[in-house]
A and B are shown apart, each in its own frame.
Chain A
């Protein structure tokens, strides 16, 4: 039995790769070929779908928009979560447990519940259709997540580190940035990865809060698919391109990813 152990993960990976392969396969076909023939690989190999995306600004701006608000969100979430996570991991204060659970409840709130009020709220403060609106709205679930992960990593650092630094005459600020932050660098990296990931894959809020100027690529895809009939080849090429940023970030955190998914709580 031990001999065939590798079969399980191998079969699973094949199952995971099949739909992705099918998407890539379609992205190199013309729409006519997709609709008229069934083939396991492109019969008439074409890159015209990709050329269209990289030359048409309504398409490539979608990527720029998505990446812009995702990066904004990652920076805001981690910057705000760092001091808070430190407070939760080191101190007891009035209402700390309730506050922690309240933060987590926001990770549990179905985005569909918030879609309409968000639309009205961000419109009324004139932030509708801006990158910052999407970045801020994604804080709803990313900040709780960031606090949660960072708290896990910080709690693993013994308190003696803080105390020794203070004895050595470090001020809080110097200790925090010169000693503490480098100590949990891996944790911060993982947190950034998760914020990036959840902001990148979310669509409901991003779509609700944008019209044209900050429209995410994922929303561009749905619109184009419905107005100009099903341009399947183009859709497949755009989809394939959305996989790439994720694949790049995974590569960088591959050694920490399993632990990171456990929120530093193993």
Chain B
């Protein structure tokens, strides 16, 4: 759409600008303040320069948490994106099946995150949970509160359960926007199922898939509540992702300086990746 230049449009944006600035700028400045200072309580502060940043960037604890976070995000993207596409492709296109699928599949998205954690906790308990009981009676030695491997397996399975539907719904919306004529043309040309997918469906889904990857990256990188309720970051620190580690540092130990420095580094990483994706998305949009 060709837009007209109109500086008065700023008046329309003011309420949003004020509300978000009120919520984002002030707290963010507080974090920036803390990150450069040492606090002794009672509002006494001393300038520390970049000490906390150096400390965090060099600390093994941060490296370990970041490593776990990247591994987690990478694994769930690797599972959820292909699985989501596969389910969207096999979903019914018309009839009663459509609303039934959509409603049931959206259910996990609307459950409060700590309830998701609590639900999976109950579901996976080795002695009285369905998952834990079933796995143990099949001969696996499964206990997600004791064994790191099982804790990871459960956390990933929980995230797949929670968020794959988002990818499904996005892909489904993308698929629905394809005109039937494309499929007819493919059929006349005798295109195989794979070719239809590769040259018609996948390009048409490119936009929504970029969005899906962006959203899933963002949200999985910030994940806090679900693993916190499920495993509490344990056993040990094996499932303490960045947010869990950060909250532990800020609210648990009250190490404000290092926690603030970590917040900023954390935010910066998310921002950088999202900026790349955002530009990719805008490029896609400009093309079409």
**A binding-site residues for B, Cβ under 8 Å:** 5-9, 12-13, 15-20, 22-23, 26, 34-35, 37-38, 40, 76, 79-81, 83-84, 86-94, 96, 99, 101, 103-118, 120-121, 136-137, 139-140, 143-144, 147, 155, 158-159, 197, 200-204, 217-219, 221-222, 225, 232, 235-236, 239, 242-243, 245-247, 249-251, 254-255, 257-259, 261-263, 265-266
Contact A106-B24, Cβ < 8 Å, known A93-B10, A203-B112: yes
C-alpha spacing A261/B105, complex, angstroms: 13
* Interface core residue of A109, A118, A121 (most chain B CB under 10 Å): A109
Report if B144 contacts A (CB, 8 A). no
C-alpha spacing A139/B23, complex, angstroms: 8
CB distance A118 to B122 under 8 Å?
no
**Chain A residue nearest to B91 in the complex (CB):** A9
**One of A5, A113, A259, A262 near B90 (C-beta < 8 A):** A5
A255: chain B residues within 8 A (beta carbon): 99
Report if B41 contacts A (CB, 8 A). no
**Chain A residue nearest to B269 in the complex (CB):** A110
> Smallest Cβ distance from B74 to chain A, in angstroms?
18
| A-B contact sample (8 more), CB < 8 A, given A91-B4, A96-B9, A203-B225 | A8-B90, A34-B128, A92-B4, A110-B243, A112-B246, A197-B110, A242-B115, A261-B169
Interface size, chain B (Cβ < 8 Å): 97
Report if B135 contacts A (CB, 8 A). no
- How would you classify the secondary structure of chain A's contact residues: helix, strand, loop or mixed? helix
Contact A258-B173, Cβ < 8 Å, known A84-B15, A247-B110: yes
List B residues 46-90 near A (Cβ within 8 Å).
Answer: 86-87, 90
Report if B251 contacts A (CB, 8 A). yes
B240: chain A residues within 8 A (beta carbon): none
Contact A93-B274, Cβ < 8 Å, known A113-B246, A117-B26: no
**B binding-site residues for A, Cβ under 8 Å:** 1-10, 12-13, 15-17, 19-20, 22-24, 26-28, 30-31, 86-87, 90-92, 97, 99, 101-115, 118-120, 122-123, 127-131, 133, 161, 164-166, 168-170, 172-174, 176-177, 207-208, 211, 218, 221-222, 224-225, 229, 242-243, 246-247, 250-251, 256, 259, 263-264, 266-267, 270-271, 274-275, 278, 285
C-alpha spacing A116/B31, complex, angstroms: 9
C-alpha spacing A5/B86, complex, angstroms: 10
C-alpha spacing A259/B1, complex, angstroms: 21
A261: chain B residues within 8 A (beta carbon): 166, 169-170, 173
CB distance B127 to A38 under 8 Å?
yes
CB distance A83 to B12 under 8 Å?
yes
CB distance A266 to B174 under 8 Å?
yes
A114: chain B residues within 8 A (beta carbon): 24, 27-28, 31
CB distance B130 to A121 under 8 Å?
no
C-alpha spacing A239/B8, complex, angstroms: 48
> Smallest Cβ distance from A57 to chain B, in angstroms?
20
**One of A26, A94, A147, A159 near B122 (C-beta < 8 A):** A26
